[in-house]
Structure 1
C-alpha cells in the first residue's frame, strides 16, 4: 500500500500546535467555532498579562541587585532571563503586527506545497522534512527543558527534601528571581498561586520564543526545497533545442514563475521576522555572556540549570544562522544550474528567459535583520566572538572588585 501524501498542515503542525497551547491560533480565521476562538483569545491575553507583570518584577529585582556588589552575581543571573523574556515578548508583538501578512504567507506556502506522493518524491520532501523534524525536536527539547528546569526544580527539590528526606520545613523558593510587592512565601495558598503564575509565564515565554523560530525553520525548509527542485529541473532539462522551442519556452517560463514566487515568499519571511531577528541577535551576545558567567561563578546546583540555558541559546542562534546559510546557498544554486544547461543551441527567446533567471538569482534569497548583513554562519561566529569578549570583560571586572 502506497503511503499517503503529506499535507501542508502536517508539515507545519508542530509550531501551530505549540501556539495553540498558549491561546494563539494562526488559523483562527478558518475556525467556525466562535466560543473556542474566544476562549483561546482570553487565554492568550491573560497569559501575556501575567507574563509581562513577571518581567516587570524581574527588572525591578535586577535594578535592586545592581545597587550592591554582594548581589551582583544575582543580577547577572536575572539578566539572561530578562533578555529571553524581551525576545519572547517582541516575537509575539511582531507576530501580532504582521498577523495578516503571516496568514497570507502560510496560505501561499500551502498553495505552492507539492500535493501528490509523486510530486513530493520529486521535491525530496521526505528527506527535507526528516531533517527539519530532527532540528525542531532538538531545539524544542532544549528550549522547554530550560523553562521547565528553572520553574519546576525548586518545588521538586523541596518536595523530595520534605517528604522523602525528612527536612523540618518545606522550602518555599521560586525558580526565577522576581520582586513582588507582597510576601509571596508567607501563606501556603499565596505561595502556590504565585508559583503557578511563574510556571505558566515560563511556559508561555518558551513557546512564544520557540514557535516563531519553528515557523521560520518550516518556511525556509520549504523555500530551500523549491529552489533545489528548480535547480534539478534546470540541470536535468537536456531537451532544449530550436526544433521544439515553444515547449521548451513554456517549460522554462513555469520555472521562472516558480522562482519569482519563491523570491517573493522569502521577502515575506523577512517582513514578518526581521524585527524579532534584530532583537534576537542584539540580545544574544549579552545573554550568552551572562549565562556563561553564571556557569563559571555559580554553585554546582545552579550550573546544571544554566548549562541547559546556555546550550539552548547557542542552538537557537545556530539554527537561525544555519537556515539562513541554507537559503542563500539554495537560491544561488539556481543561477549555476541555469548556466550549466546546454543553452548554446537553444532558441533566442529561450536564452533571454534564461538570462532573466540567472540575473534574478545573482541576488540570493536570504534571512535579514535591519542594519545586519544576510544571516549566515558568519553571523553565528560574530555572535560567539562578541559573547566571549563581553564574558571576558565581565569576568575581569567581577574578579577585580572581588579582590
Structure 2
C-alpha cells in the first residue's frame, strides 16, 4: 500500500526530468522567484535555440523550391521541421495553461486523499496494472527517443567517414539542412553548429515527452479514480436477501450517495480541465502527425540510401507511436467514464425503495455522456481518431506519390 499512498506524486516524479530541461513546470504556484526566473530563462533559451534552426530549415526549403530541387530532396527536411514546430507549440500552450496545470495537479492529490482508504486487493491489482502499462509506454518512448538522437547524431559522421575512405575527400555534413548567414562548414564554426543542431533535436523530444507524458499520467490517474468510484457505487447497497424487505433510503445512505455524486463531478471537472489544457495543441498534433507520417513514409519508399532509410524508418515508427499513445490514453479515459454506467446498474438498486432509484437515474444518465477529450472540438481523442490520422496520412501519401511519379515521367 505504500506505493498507492503517493501514487500520483510518484508518477509525476517519473516525468520530472523532461520538465526540468525544457523550462516547463507542473507546480508554478510553489516556485520561488528564483526558480521562476530559472524556468523562464531555460524555456526562452531553448525556444530561441530551437526556432532559429526552424527558421534556417524553412529558408533552406524556400531556396530549394527556387533552385528547382526534386520533391524527394524537399521532403527530406520537412518531417523534422514540422515535428520541431509541433514541439515548440506544445510547450507554448503548456506555458499559457500553467494555472490549469497547477489546478489539475492539486485536484489529483485531493482525489487521491479521498480514495486512499477505498483500495482493496482487487483494485490494487488493477491499479498496479495501469501504472505498469504507463511506465512501459514512457520507457518505450524514451528508448526510441534515445535511438533517434543516436541515429541523427552519428549518421552524418558515418557518412563523412565512408566518403573520406572511398574518395579521400573530407566533405563535412550536418544532421539537418539549415541555411545560415555564414559558412556553416568553416571548421571554426562547424563543431558548434553540430552540437547546436543535436541539442535542438533533444529539445524537440524533451518538449514532446514532457507535455505528452503529463497527459498520459493524468488520463491514467483519472481512470484509477473512476475504478475506485465504480467499486464504491457497487458496494453502496449492502448485499441482503430480498425476503428481508426493502432497504430504507435513510440519511446514512443518502449521505454516502451524495459523496459519490460529488466525487463523480470532481472527476468530470478534472477531465474538462485536461480538455482545456490540451484541446488546441491536440488539433495541431493531429494535423502535423498526418503530415509527418505521410512525408516520412514517402521518404522511406523513394530514398535508396540504406542509411537514410534507417533514419526515416525510426522517425516513422516514433511518429506513429506518439500519436497512437496519445489517442489510446484519451480513449482509456473516455471508456473509464462510460464503464461507470454498468457499475450503477449493478449496485443492487432493486433492494432500495423507489426514491433511491429516481436519484440514481440522474447519476446514470450523466455517466452515459462520456468524459472525452477533443482536438478543439473537431475530433474526439480516441482510437478512431488515430485511424482518421492514418487515413489522412495515406491520402496525402497517395497524392504525393502521384505528383512524384508525374515529375519523374
Same fold (TM over 0.5): yes
Residue in 2 that maps onto 1:175 = 175
Residue in 2 that maps onto 1:305 = 311
Tell me, in whole angstroms, the C-alpha distance in 1 between the residues paired with 2:371 and 2:353: 29
Superposed displacement of residue 394, structure 1: 0.8
Tell me, in whole angstroms, the C-alpha distance in 2 between the residues paired with 1:4 and 1:396: 55
Tell me, in whole angstroms, the C-alpha distance in 1 between the residues paired with 2:35 and 2:358: 54
> CA, structure 1 residues 212+288, in 2 after alignment: closer, same or farther (shift >3 Å)?
same
> CA, structure 1 residues 361+326, in 2 after alignment: closer, same or farther (shift >3 Å)?
same
Residue in 1 that maps onto 2:373 = 367
Tell me the SS of whatever aligns to 1:368.
coil
Tell me the SS of whatever aligns to 1:204.
helix
Mean Cα deviation higher: 289-298 or 117-126? 117-126
Superposed displacement of residue 295, structure 1: 0.4
Superposed displacement of residue 303, structure 1: 0.5
RMSD of the alignment, in Å? 2.5
Cα displacement string for residues 99-124 of structure 1 (whole angstroms, at most 9, x for unaligned residues): 11111111111221257587385454
Conservation of the 8 A alpha-carbon contact between 2:118 and 2:228? no
Tell me, in whole angstroms, the C-alpha distance in 2 between the residues paired with 1:397 and 1:365: 42
> CA, structure 1 residues 371+64, in 2 after alignment: closer, same or farther (shift >3 Å)?
farther
Cα displacement string for residues 25-75 of structure 1 (whole angstroms, at most 9, x for unaligned residues): 33343244x545433432221111011111011111112222355432121
Superposed displacement of residue 141, structure 1: 2.2
Residues 1:255 and 2:260 are matched in the alignment:
yes
> CA, structure 1 residues 279+169, in 2 after alignment: closer, same or farther (shift >3 Å)?
same
Tell me the SS of whatever aligns to 1:249.
helix
Residue in 2 that maps onto 1:293 = 298
Superposed displacement of residue 342, structure 1: 1.8
Residue in 1 that maps onto 2:18 = 18
Residues 1:272 and 2:282 are matched in the alignment:
no
Superposed displacement of residue 85, structure 1: 1.3
Tell me, in whole angstroms, the C-alpha distance in 1 between the residues paired with 2:144 and 2:331: 22
Conservation of the 8 A alpha-carbon contact between 2:119 and 2:228? no
Mean Cα deviation higher: 354-363 or 63-72? 63-72
Residues 1:401 and 2:403 are matched in the alignment:
no
Tell me, in whole angstroms, the C-alpha distance in 2 between the residues paired with 1:166 and 1:379: 48
Tell me the SS of whatever aligns to 1:189.
coil
Cα displacement string for residues 186-240 of structure 1 (whole angstroms, at most 9, x for unaligned residues): 2x23011111111111111111112111111000001111112222322344417
Aligned counterpart in structure 1 of residue 386 of structure 2, from 380, 390, 393: 380
Tell me the SS of whatever aligns to 1:113.
helix
> CA, structure 1 residues 329+116, in 2 after alignment: closer, same or farther (shift >3 Å)?
closer
Residue in 2 that maps onto 1:132 = 134
Conservation of the 8 A alpha-carbon contact between 1:158 and 1:172? yes
TM normalised by structure 1 equals 0.91
Conservation of the 8 A alpha-carbon contact between 2:24 and 2:95? no
> CA, structure 1 residues 356+135, in 2 after alignment: closer, same or farther (shift >3 Å)?
same
Residues 1:338 and 2:344 are matched in the alignment:
yes
Tell me, in whole angstroms, the C-alpha distance in 1 between the residues paired with 2:295 and 2:93: 26
Structure 1 alignment gaps of length 5 or more:
none
Residue in 1 that maps onto 2:207 = 208
List aligned pairs for 1:226-241, cutoff 5 A.
226-239=225-238
Conservation of the 8 A alpha-carbon contact between 2:57 and 2:77? yes
Conservation of the 8 A alpha-carbon contact between 1:149 and 1:305? yes
Superposed displacement of residue 360, structure 1: 1.2
Residue in 2 that maps onto 1:282 = 287
TM normalised by structure 2 equals 0.90
> CA, structure 1 residues 119+345, in 2 after alignment: closer, same or farther (shift >3 Å)?
closer
Residues 1:352 and 2:358 are matched in the alignment:
yes
Tell me, in whole angstroms, the C-alpha distance in 1 between the residues paired with 2:342 and 2:217: 25
> CA, structure 1 residues 295+16, in 2 after alignment: closer, same or farther (shift >3 Å)?
same
Residue in 1 that maps onto 2:147 = 145
Residue in 2 that maps onto 1:320 = 326
